[in-house]
Amino acid sequence: CTEKKEWDLVWSEEFEYTGSPAAESWGYETGYIRNNELQYYTDQTENVKVENGMCIITARLAGEDSITSASINTWGKKDFLYGRVEVRAQIPSALGSWPAIWMLGANFPTVGWRRCGEIDIMEYVGNNPGKVQSAIHTPSSSGATVNVKSTEIVNETSEFHVYSVIWTEDEIKFLIDDAEFYT
């Protein structure tokens, strides 16, 4: 980032326990959720568990044509307006996967997607290795948004990287390993 600022830490999750993600911070989406995705999201430990300082989300083949996975979130438990968010993650290498780290407006249940806004800190399309993207979805730019940029990345499936967003009243900056690639 071109400017350095001291941030006040308001929440951190270091996954220093074993089992399911901590209920005071994490909730689950369950079922077939969005975009005609093939996977069924569960809250089962075979799809999401915490161990060795990591939250591990696993997609599993659950029959010939069925896939299960997990989608966890902090909706109703953590929210903020402006700040810096950092997530340390290693991306799966499976073709067809689409892991993402994103934020929705807290008013999502009352106004719905698009109107609540969405900030995609990181999206990785499994059939496009070596690239990640970040995006902003709004009522005027949703779906195939124009507010998107991809960047090249190495070792995304074999090493951890820190994906960040700096959100201020005037702009949103996206970073990988503290290197800004999109504003």
Which residues have a catalytic role annotated?
Answer: 118, 123
Q: Can you name the residues that pair with 152 across neighbouring β-strands?
A: 131
Interior CA angle at 69 toward 63 and 74, to 5°? Answer: 160
C-alpha to C-alpha distance for 144 and 106, rounded to whole angstroms: 22
The secondary structure of 140-180 as a DSSP string is: TB-SS-SSEEEEE-SSTTTS-EEEEEEE-SS-EEEEETTEE
Q: Which residues contact 112 (CB under 8 A, 6 or more apart)?
A: none
Contact 102, 118 (CB under 8 A): yes
The secondary structure of 70-132 as a DSSP string is: -EEE-TTT---SSEEEEEEE-----TT---EEEEE-TTHHHH-TTTT-EEEEEE--TTSTTEE
